[in-house]
Amino acid sequence: MKIDTESTRKAIRDFEINSAESLEQFRLTFISRKGKVAELFSKMGTIAADERAEAGKVLNELKNEAQARFDEAKQKLEASVTSVRTATDDITLQPPVRPVGSFHPLTLTLEEIKKVFFRLGFSIAEGPEIEDDFHNFTSLNFPPEHPARDMQDTFYIHKDENSIDNDLLLRTHTSPVQIRKMLEQRPPIRSIMPGRVYRNESVTYKSYFLFHQVEALYVDKNVNFAELKETLVMLAEMVFNRKVKYRLRPSFFPFTEPSLEMDIWWEQPGKEGRWLEILGAGMVHPNVLRSVDIDPEVYSGFALGMGVERMASLRYGIEDIRIFYDNDIRFLEQFQ
Ligand code: PHE
């Protein structure tokens, strides 16, 4: 006797599978132990011995075809199920929260400083980080061999391996932007100069080879010391968001005369209060005005400069300057 596999093969191919239920129906009908294929296998005993091997091969092919059809249909169904909303989905669930970036504490501090000066009618001036000796030192009244140049350890730029070009350098302060501003615009000048500066200092918790300064310059007729003092106090109170106890100490900068440093009284719970220096300032030196062709008999001005890292450290209680440049997300995230 022969086994008819053709009608079963056709049934396997034509069976419509479009749901989990019909898939299960297919399995029961063809693949399960009581299914069509098993039933055909059970008829093997009725087959003549010399035809059995051939019949076995045909049946095995049929069995594999049914299994393949099942596997493929199952995979297709599973893929489509994930994109179909089922009754058990909770559509009131909040979507996952996307992390929002934060501003760097130096940026936040700089913004606060800018606000003070925008209120007073200052605008922003910028200059290059690679400067020349004229803008960084000479025009600011640093005489050629004057020890004042040693106040700021300078990175000079090498022309080639053997020579150091003493004319190009990384600016050591933002004061050269004062010079650029005064060369480009006649008084009245009211500008602030924020920017990055470089000094050849070792890296420790309190010093780094680069940092940021903001400088302010006001030049006009009759600019006086009282206006400088007013500006300093307003600046300190706005940046630290409270009344401050301060003192102005005589100091020295080649480009200002008289010069001063401003200290504020700093108290922290559990620690003894102390004076902390926050900035340098002074009346623009007549030699500086002369170097940019502004007549010091007609005009006067004040200048002040501060370190942004210093201000930010005090604002946020940061004791190690290096953390500003680590880009450690755990630090930065705290400034949302
Ligand atoms: N340029 C000075 C410094 O880097 C700071 C300063 C600026 C002092 C303006 C007085 C006036 O130390």
Identify whether 193 is part of a domain.
Answer: yes
Question: Given this model, what pLDDT does residue 152 score?
Answer: 66
Instruction: Let me know if residue 243 belongs to a domain.
Output: yes
Output the CA 158–ligand 1 centroid distance in Å.
Answer: 26
Residue 299 covered by a domain: yes
Domain that holds residue 327: 105-335
3-state secondary structure of 64: helix
Q: Are residues 72 and 43 in the same domain?
A: yes
**Same-domain pairing of 56 and 143:** no
State the pLDDT confidence band at 94, using cuts at 50, 70 and 90. confident
**Listed residues 88, 117, 142: the one ending a domain:** 88
pLDDT tens digits for range 248-301: 999 999 999 999 999 999 888 888 889 999 999 999 999 999 999 999 999 999
Tokens of 307: 């370190």
201 and 62 assigned to the same domain: no
Nearest CA to ligand 1 atom 7: 305
What would the mean pLDDT of 59-73 be, rounded to a whole number?
Answer: 94
Domain identity same for 133 and 179 = yes
Task: Give pLDDT, residue 223.
Answer: 96
What letter would DSSP give residue 333?
Answer: G
Calculate the CA 291 to chain-centre distance.
40
- In the block, tokens 């030192």 appear at 137
Handedness of CA 84, 86, 91, 96 (dihedral sign): negative
Q: Whose CA is nearest to atom 6 of ligand 1?
A: 305
Which residues lie with the beta carbon below 6 Å from any ligand 1 atom? 173, 175, 215, 253, 256, 280-282, 303-305
On the question of pLDDT at 244 being above 60, the answer is yes
pLDDT for position 255: 95
CATH of residue 215: 3.30.930.10
pLDDT score for 84: 59
Residue 284 maps to a domain: yes
Phi, psi of 277 (to 5 degrees): -75, 130
Amino acid (one-letter) located at 207:
S
Q: Ligand 1 centroid to 305 CA: how many Å? A: 5
> DSSP alpha helices (H): ranges in 90-224?
105-119, 133-136, 175-184
Task: Domain count for the chain, please give it.
Answer: 2
Mean per-residue pLDDT, 103-119: 95
Residue 79 CB burial class (10 angstroms; 0-12, 13-18, ≥19) = exposed
Query: Which atom belonging to ligand 1 lies closest to the Cα atom of 197?
Result: 4
pLDDT band at 207, cuts 50/70/90? confident
The verdict on 146 and 231 lying in the same domain is: yes
Residue 1 clears pLDDT 60, i.e. is over it: no
Check whether residue 20 and residue 153 sit in a common domain: no
Position 97 in a domain: no
Hey, whose CA ends up nearest to atom 2 of ligand 1? 305
> How remote is the CA of residue 147 from the centroid of ligand 1, in Å?
16
Q: Write down the mean pLDDT value for the chain.
A: 90
- Omega cis (within 30) before 258: yes
pTM here is 0.70
